[in-house]
């Protein structure tokens, strides 16, 4: 769903939030994408 470039662009923000695991970062991005999709389609 997300490219490595997208993950790298958010990596600093995730590190500031204490989310250092790549898998956790992907899960957070997927969650935010899902919320955005739900809001957009409503």
CA gap 22, 15 in Å, rounded: 10
pLDDT of residue 3: 80
Give the domain ranges of the chain. Answer: 4-41
Burial (Cβ within 10 Å: 0-12, 13-18, ≥19) of residue 25: buried
pLDDT at 42: 79
Q: What is the pLDDT of residue 4?
A: 81
Residue-level pLDDT at 6:
81
Tell me how far apart the alpha carbons of residues 38 and 35 are, in angstroms, rounded to a whole number: 5
pLDDT in tens, the chain (42 residues): 678 888 888 898 999 999 999 899 989 999 999 999 999 997
């Amino acid at each position: 769903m997300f490219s490595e470039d997208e993950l790298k662009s958010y990596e600093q923000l995730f590190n500031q939030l204490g989310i250092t695991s790549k898998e956790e970062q992907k899960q957070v991005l997927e969650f935010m994408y899902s919320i955005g999709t739900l809001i957009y389609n409503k």
